Each structure stands twice: as C-alpha cells, then as structure tokens.
A and B are shown apart, each in its own frame.
Chain A
Amino acid sequence: MNRYPLWRYVLIACAIAAALLYTLPNFYGESPAVQVSSAKTTVKVDDAVLARIEKTLQAAGVAPTGLLLEPTGLRARFADTDAQLKAFDLIEKSLNPDHDNPSYVVALNLLPSSPAWLTALHALPMYLGLDLRGGVHFLLQVDMQAALQKRLEAFAGEVRGLLREKDLRHAGIAREGQTLRIRFRDAATRDKAETAIAAQIQVLDLARRDDGQDQLLVATLKPAALKNEQELAIKQNITTLGRRVNQLGVAEPVIQQQGADRIVVQLPGVQDPAKAKEILGRTATLEVRLVDEDAMRSGSTFNVDVFPERKRDGSVSSVPVKKQVLVTGDQFTGASATFDQDQRPAVSVELNEAGGRVMRQATRENLRKLMAIILLERGKGEAISVATIQGEFGSRFQITGSFTPAETNDLALLIRAGSLAAPMEIIEERTVGPSLGKENIEKGFNATKWGFVAIVLFMSAYYTLFGVISSIALGVNLLFLVALLSLLQATLTLPGIAAIALTLGMAIDANVLINERIREEVRAGQTPQAAIAAGYERAWGTILDSNVTTLIAGLALLIFGSGPVRGFAVVHCLGILTSIVSSVVVSRAIVNMTYGHRRKVARLAIGNTAWK
C-alpha cells in the first residue's frame, strides 16, 4: 500500500533536478562588469559600438573575459575590479568625449558569473533588493491637481480661440479649481457656444449655469478624459525621469508607476542620494526656433546659435538657428505619434494659446522655410528635428521628417518629456550603503542556516529515520523555494530572507503532524505499513487546513503590503505552497522507497513508540 507508481518517482526526481538547475546560478557569485547603454533616444548601441569598444580595450591591453550585446545594452565582463575600473575609464573616454553631454551611459555593474548555458535557460540568480545590494530608493508623489490645472488652462486657450473663430462673444473665461467657467451676456450666445464647444472639444463636460448676472457654461473634464490625462502625466514624468537617470550611469535603474499617482525610482549601487536628487529634479526644456538659412549656406556663425543635429545615418551636422525663441517647452501641452495625410510617420503636437498665436504668425511669415526643434539639457542643446514649414498653422501642428514610427514615438515622448507634466515631491527615501547590504545578506543567511541546522538535529534525534526524511523534505522545500524565487526573479529583501527562515520553521509542522500521527497509529496497534498510510492520510486534512489559514494571512499582507512587507509576503506565500508539496509528497516518496517495497517491516524507525 505504500508504493508510488514509477512515474511519480520520476516526476519528483525531475522536479528536484529542475529546482537544482535553477538554484545553481546563486552559487556562482558575481563578476565585475562594465555596462554600456544609450543615453539618448537617437543613439543606439550596436555592433559598431561593440567593435569600437573591443578595439579600444585591446589597444590598452585590458581584455574582457566576455563581451555581450543585448537588447538593453552592451556588457563587458572582467576578471577583477582593477581591470573593470581601467576599462570603465577607457570606454567612458572613448564613447563620451564630451563629458558634459554623454551619448552613452557607461556604468559599473556586477554580473552573475554563471556559465552561459545556464543563462540561456533563463536560470538567473535571485534578484536582490536594494537593502541587500545597496542603493537609493525614492518614492515620488505626482501633484495631479497641478497637472490637471495646467491642462485646463490649455483648454481655456482652446475655447477662447474657438469662440473667436465662430464669432461668439464671451464675457470672460476663467479656471476655478478643477472647472472652467465661461461667461456669456445672453443665453442665445451661450447655447450656440455650447454646441460649438461640444462639437470641437469632446473631452469636456458642459453644464449650464445662471448666476443672476451672466449666463455660464461650466466645463469639467470627462471622467475618461480625466483618467487619460492622469495617465499621460504619469507617463510623461516617468519618461523624463528615465532620461535624467540615464545621466547617473546606473546599471539597472527601476522607474515604475505605483498606484495612481506615484512613481518609484530605484537606483542600485548609487551611493550619493544628494546627487541623484539633484539630477532627478533637473528640468530639460524644448525650444522652437527658425533656422537661419543664410548662415546655413554661408557657414557664418554671426548672430546665430549652432546646434548639432544627429542624422539618421549617424552623421552629425550643424544647424545654425536664429536667436529668437518662438516657443518654449512649457508651452507644449501634448505630443503624440501619428501619421500624416501621406501615411508618413509624424508627430502631432499641441501648443497652448499663447504659443499657438506666436506660431501662427511665425509660420505665416516664414512659409517654406526651415524650423528647428531644440532640446536643451544641462545647458547643451541638440536639434531633434529640422523640418520645412509646409503651411500656416497655430496651436496644433505636425512635425514630419524622415522618421520611422518608432522614432516618432520617441520624439513624442521627448517633447512631452521636455518638461515634467506635473510637479513631483519625494515622499519616501531609502538609502542603503553597500557594506550594510553585504552584512544584511550575511546575517540573514546565518540566521537561516543555524535555525535549519537546529531543526535538522532535533528532528533526527527525536524521530530518528523519519526525522532524517523530514529534514530532507525540508531541504527540498528550501531548494524549491530558492529555485522558484530565482525563476520568477522576485525581489529578495531582508524581510524576504526572514520569511524564508520563518517558512521553513513553519513547514516542519506538517512533518511533525505526520510523524506524530504515525506514532499514534503504531501505538494503537496498527501494522507499520498501515500506520504509515493512515498517518499520511489522516494528517493531510489538517495540513491543508492549517496551511490555508496561514496563506490567508500571507495573501492579506501581499495585497495590502508595500515595501518591506511585500517582500516578506511574496516569499511567505510561495514558501507555504512549496512546503505543502515537499513535506507531503516528497517525504512520502522517500518513506515509500524505504519501506514500501519490503515484504515485512518489524518496526518503524520513528523513535520510541513502545511506552504504552
């Protein structure tokens, strides 16, 4: 009765083998590396860059032990930190001759040194949280009210323009809180205006109001539009932050939305939060200027500003532009990738009212001339688009050029990212030094190790052979858990390590239940084989019930927890699941292998049961 069919043993063996495979990368440690990624959307890290780096390093005699081109960038491994630092300087100098305006992010990093065949199987070491590897964590709160107000101001301009166009007289347009109030002297005009606005600007909800003096239209953003605006604002801020973080030279930055209006920024390895904050808070701006075509032809630099323009083929040309700035970045209210009437990729942009007016005049006077859009950052500018003015336009226009759809996407982001959509505030900061991170790993590991050893010693002494089997099952549980964490690449934090320890401590409960039950059955006079079967069977219901209640608490923590609590809850929940499998199925398999195939079992090695 205590026999598993062969396929079950094979299945368990396979599961353990797979777990071993995925746990393996954690033992290889890390090797120093230099990581190169693009700092600008116009710059790509490709084979040419790879060859260049290879040549530079070879010339200096710093041979990397591995050079790898990945979608996210280029990684060069080195035998030791000396070679890594030397190579870092060399690469930085070669790729970024102008230190203040880097085209590439060159960062120091530690890469898992597991063999390539493991990496190919997506077997990676566990992903360590900032408290274990050191770094800076910020939580930024986006001021949505301000973003929406900014947006409403833009709509106010649009309404004003529209009413002028339709020749409808209004008595003032003002924003009050999150609403737009448009006043009219008489109801007839108001009704006409209402139809006009409703037809033109669909995202506004309009309500009629009469304050005794004037007829009013109260406009608010429709709920769907409101949500859309909020999402756009967050996205724009994330893009801007991403561009800024690039300048910090961080190997694996994390910039993510959290909740409706928050952004998490995690910068592993960054030790100077002050510098990080300074850079995150910096503003980049956009300018629209006319190209000085005379200067372009003559090459004169008199009374013009010259900006570099990176062409699609990779070459860089200079664009002389007039000193007069037509429109600045904060006047852009939106930008999105689209296609023009000839189905060529283009970027559709939107300006506020003032910007639109200037634009209309400028385009009328400069038809068929060149206009440049310049991105200014850290006092350096770059022409991101130079295009011919095809017609007169105002607050809405399209930028066309020799773009691919991907590039128009980037450009739209860039234009939006030129300034933050809404002000942000740091509401949480956590900085952990690298020495503390190492210490945390060590302490967490030691705590788990000694707790584990103590349990194994006790179980083996108390339940003899069954105790040893329980201990093996517990070891398999740990193996499964580590493999699962490595496979899912869930972030492991110090509370996560604590959860591993706690879960192991709780997991042994199942085996204690089983072993006690078997002893009891033996005492009650059952034969050894029957006692094993009854013990496992009777204990199963209890094990399930008790694990479900523990899991309920774990899930509650997972749903409502944030930060350290979440790190704990993820590991805790996974651990409960693996423990059910290992303590019941794996231990049973070992017991079956030991006893199941014997014809006669005189007694079970489960400690003293003969006291009754």
Chain B
Amino acid sequence: MEFFKIRRVIPFMRHALVFNVISLLTFLAAVFFLAYNGLHLSVEFTGGTLVEVSYKDAANVEAIRATLDKAGLKAEVQNFGSSRSVLIRLPIEKDQSNAALSQKVAALLKAQDASAEVRRVEFVGPQVGKELYEDGGMALLLTIVGIVAYLAVRFEWKFGVSAIIANLHDVIIILGFFALFQWEFSLPVLAAVLAVLGYSVNESVVVFDRVRENFRKMRKASTPDVIDSAITGVISRTIITHGCTQLMAAGMLLFGGPALHYFAMALTIGICFGIYSSVLVAAPLLMWLKVDRSYFVKPPKKTGPSGENDGAVV
C-alpha cells in the first residue's frame, strides 16, 4: 500500500506568502477570541469548589440549580459526560470553609434525590491558582528556550527561531479554540498543549534535517528548491506519523470518557495544526530568515599563507 506517489517536487515555497497569510489570519482570529472571550479556566486556576454528583437516572439540572439557589449558593451547574452526572462549581467564598461547603451541597442534593452520589470533590484555594499561572508560564518559557538552544546547537539559530515561532502559533491556535468554544482549560489540557509543542517541533526538526541534508547533496539548487524537495521528501512520513498519533488521540476522545475529553481535544487540534505549521509555516520562515548552505557546507579549504598544513602539503 502506498498513499503518496509523489513523482515531482511540489513547489511549496512558491506559495509561501499564501501560507503565511493564512497562518496570520488564523493566528489573529485566535488572539481575538482569546482577548474577547477569554479562557474558561478550571477551578485549578481560578480557585473554588467543584463537586461531581451522579444520579441513578437522568439528572434534573434545573431542579438542582433551584435547590442550590434557594440555599443561597452561587453555583454553576452543568451536565458532565452523561446526562446522569452533573458538575457543580462554586466560587471561593470568605468565611465559609470548604468542608462545610461541599458537605452542604451533598446534603442538599441527597435531600432532593436520594440516589445522588458525590463522586468527586475538588477544592483549590486562591493562592494555588496564582502559582499555576506562574509555573505554567515558566514551563512554557523553559520549553521555548530549551528547544531554541538545542536547535541552534544542532542546526543554526535560524532553525530554532522559525521552529519555535511556527509552533507557538499552534499553541495560540489551540488556546483560541478553547476560548471560542469555551471548553474548560484545565491542568491536563495545559500538559497536552506543552506536549504538543514538543511534538510539533519534532516535526519541524524532521523537515530541517532533510533541508540540511539536501543543502549538502544539491549543491547547485537554490534555497527554495532545497526546501521544496525536503518537504516533498518527508510529507508522506509527516502525514502518516501524525495520523498514527491522531489514532491514539481519537482513542482517548472516543473511549477516554469526560475526564480525558478536553485533553484529547487539545491533542487533536494540536496535531492537525502541527502538520500544517511545522511544514508550511516553519519552512517559509526559514526562507525569509535567509538560511543558506554556507552554514552546512564548509567552503573548500583555501591554502592561506599561514595555513597550518603548509609544510605537509608540499
């Protein structure tokens, strides 16, 4: 079996500008949604109490809301995973200990429907959430610096910079989706985003590797030609690899249940945009940064007057 029978080099770089405009538009849209809607952060970030309650039959969300309202609780109630379980979020309230709060909710719901069973309680104090922002930011920063530094050592700084720009643009787009649809952004989602960042960079690395190799092999070709042939050479691998990783993400999306849903969702978006950006964003950036073969191909040695090997050559 063979999906990709590419006989000619596809002139990707001729359309580089188009790809960059598409990227820019999606990027701006994502930034807009992030600014306009904001992220729907989980209690881990905002602080507060989360109670997951399951019922024997379909839960009556309206009734639950009414009951909690009557008790003076500013609760947000929604279905979670199935119609039989609900998720209740309560903001942080002063002078109210968390123990009392979750117990109060449990007692109220039990009184309303005896089959109510508390499956999970999460409480996060305000000070924890703030740290998560900082730690998340630090993790992102360390990843960026680490990757750029590694690629600068293995290739050239231009490779590091274009890879990281291309893939950060993925990260923003994933966040944009979460802002647009108001999906819950939790810690596992953050982990997924950073993992995808590392994974997509790896995609760019595969292309770069081929660019480097082709610079050495195709001595006469121009830079765009070299990049084109590199992309054409690895495109089949790129799509198959991402397809395989996506199979795993799909497994999580279909069978992983509500707990893994958004994690898998972040992966799916990341993988799809990863194909696009690592190949069609990183490579043009590389071209704009004016990468050339001189860095990889050592110019033939000129025997200067003070050359080390002067004596030996004779």
Contact = CB atoms under 8 A, between A and B. Distances in A.
A437 to B, nearest CB: 9
Q: Point out which of A446, A551, A552 has the most chain B C-beta atoms below 10 A from its C-beta.
A: A552
Contacts of B251: 446-452, 454, 501
B11 interface: no
Interface string B26-55: 000000000000000000100000001000
A560 B131 CA distance: 10
Contacts of A547: 202
A207 to B, nearest CB: 32
Interface of A is mostly: helix
Nearest to A553: B198
A501 B248 contact: yes
Contact of B187 (A458, A516, A542, A563): A563
Contact of B188 (A447, A495, A611): A495
Given A542-B205, A550-B198, A572-B195, A273 B142 contact: no
Interface in B217-239: 233-234, 236-237
Interface residues of A, number: 79
Contacts of A451: 247-252
B260 A556 contact: no
A130 to B, nearest CB: 10
Given A554-B195, A563-B187, A426 B120 contact: no
Contacts of A502: 192, 195, 245, 248-249, 267
A568 interface: yes
B135 A443 contact: no
Nearest to B252: A447
Interface string B260-292: 100110010000000000000000000000000
A320 B121 CA distance: 47
Interface stretch (B95-103, B176-184, B304-312): B95-103
A449 B252 CA distance: 10
B256 A611 contact: no
A439 interface: yes
Interface in A372-428: 425-428
B149 to A, nearest CB: 9
A447 B260 contact: yes
A122 B190 CA distance: 35
B135 A562 contact: yes
Interface stretch (A44-52, A208-216, A335-343, A507-515): A507-515
B191 A564 contact: yes
Interface of A: 139, 141, 273-274, 277-278, 425-433, 435-436, 439-440, 443-444, 446-452, 454-455, 458-459, 461-462, 494-495, 498-499, 501-502, 504-506, 508-509, 512-513, 516, 520, 541-542, 545-557, 559-565, 568-569, 572, 607-609, 611-612
8 contacts: A426-B99, A462-B1, A499-B191, A541-B209, A557-B195, A562-B132, A563-B44, A608-B1
Interface of B: 1-3, 5, 7, 44, 52, 98-99, 102-103, 117-125, 127-128, 132, 135-136, 138-140, 142-143, 146-147, 150-151, 154, 186-188, 190-192, 194-195, 197-199, 201-203, 205-206, 209, 233-234, 236-237, 240-241, 243-252, 254-257, 259-260, 263-264, 267
